[in-house]
Amino acid sequence: MTWNLGRSRLLGAPLREKRGTAQIAMLAICLSLSACSGGDSGGNDDDDGEDPAPDYDWSALRSTLDSYVPDTVSGYAFNLNVDDVSQFTQAGGDISVDSSVLTASATKAPSAAAILTLVDLGLLDLDEPVETYLQDSIDWPFAKRSITMRMLLNHTSGLQTAPDCLSEAVTVTMQECVQEIADAALGFLPGTAFSYGGGSYQVAGYIATVLSGQTWNDFFDMALAEPLDMQSYQFFGDENPRVAGGGTTTADDYRHFQQMFLNGGVYEDRQVLSADLIAEMSTDQIAGRLKLGMPLDRNDFPGYAFGWWISSPELHPGSTGPELSDPGLFGAVPWLDLDLNYSAVSLILSDTDTGLDIFSTARGLILDELLGTEESAQP
């Protein structure tokens, strides 16, 4: 059986050499923050013989990002892509453009996309009870037998949101962690409410390992990182990597994932994910459900789909959207706009509120430049 759409590798094929544990740890601390240096580049990539891209002016964005250092954040890395052209890349403070930064919850959308490749392969049905795929490796309680992969990836399963085992990447196996989650009481009847957390994603990731016969790290590498040429993307831990929040990446590598999404699942002529699944990931999955656990403002981010928050239209005036984002605990915020065909990612090591502030401010400046008007000014 081939791995993913038209891919010639077989399940279990050798993977590219991994970084060692110590090096991954260094990357997650921003390549030893004190050793990182800033860098920037900007402008339009128009050397391929095609019509040149519009002559945008990103000077306001550049100066605004720099204004956050060092009083608000110690450093940042930022990348902006418009119409499949890298428009603006900049870093400042103790983070460089090549720094691999812990993204926390901004890991969810890539993890969900990797798991969804199993749907394209015909190995997984989003609406089939997950017990079907556990192959007796987990003692799955009767009360949880209606839970589906769709529920797991959209936080509507009712499973424990923050089990202790998520913090045990070395001493506990992924199977043991999933059994702990399975044994815990339900927070609500599956499918009836939304409660954000990492427990359901750990179960979803474990199912991917069962179906693929690989570890999570190897599965993610084969399903997403290699076809997207995401050289830096790594997860903490081999035994029990945190599927919903343990990813580290550079801004440029995350851009590859965003561009695949904007291109309807295609990256450099490779169909990594089907257009139908990209559409699923862009369509609100929690409408009409009770929202019990909301880490973000429910008015600003009323929708959610497979790792992506869906913004309120008032936040991106001049664009019909949808605008999708995946903010993380330490302030990493990747986002993309399917109407204006642009993506951006901001990586910092601070907190969610600071990350959202940079996101909001940068978004306004980007919309002003793309639309050529002031209608994108934030209220």
- For the stretch 117-151, pLDDT in tens is 999 999 999 999 999 999 999 999 999 999 999 99
At 19 the pLDDT is: 40
In the DSSP assignment, the letter for residue 222 is I
pLDDT tens sequence across 229-265: 999 999 988 899 999 999 999 999 999 999 999 999 9
CATH entry, 23-371, from 2.60.40.60, 3.40.640.10, 3.40.710.10, 1.10.3720.10? 3.40.710.10
* pTM assigned to the model: 0.86
| Beta pairing, strands 333-337 & 342-347 | antiparallel
Omega prior to 379 cis, within 30 of 0: no
pLDDT tens sequence across 150-173: 999 999 999 999 999 999 877 899
pLDDT tens sequence across 288-338: 999 999 999 999 999 999 999 999 999 999 999 999 999 999 999 999 999
The domain spans of the chain are: 23-371
Residue 299 main-chain phi, psi, to 5 deg: -80, -35
Dihedral sign, Cα of residue 244, residue 191, residue 187, residue 204: negative
In the DSSP assignment, the letter for residue 19 is P
Query: H-helix or E-strand containing 291?
Result: strand 290-293
Which of helix, strand or coil describes residue 278?
helix
- 34-42 average pLDDT score: 39
- 281-285 average pLDDT score: 98
Exposure string of 3-20, with b = 16+ CB inside 10 Å and e = fewer, is bbbebeeeeeeebeeeee
At 52 the pLDDT is: 57
Which of helix, strand or coil describes residue 270?
strand
Q: Which two tokens stand for residue 307?
A: 């790792």
368: confidence class by pLDDT, cuts 50, 70, 90: very high
Residue type, 156: T
| Beta pairing, strands 193-195 & 101-102 | unpaired
54: confidence class by pLDDT, cuts 50, 70, 90: confident
Alpha carbon 311 to its chain's center: 15
11: confidence class by pLDDT, cuts 50, 70, 90: very low
Residue 55 has pLDDT above 90, yes or no: no
| Pair 258, 345: CB distance under 8 Å | yes
344: confidence class by pLDDT, cuts 50, 70, 90: very high
pLDDT tens sequence across 263-273: 999 999 999 99
| Pair 116, 277: CB distance under 8 Å | yes
Residue type, 308: W
| pLDDT, greater one: 157 or 6 | 157
At 90 the pLDDT is: 97
Distances (CA, A) of 327 to 31, 163, 286, 292, 301: 21, 21, 18, 18, 11
Instruction: Look over the chain and give the mean of its residue pLDDT values, rounded to a whole number.
Output: 88
Residue 279 main-chain phi, psi, to 5 deg: -65, -40
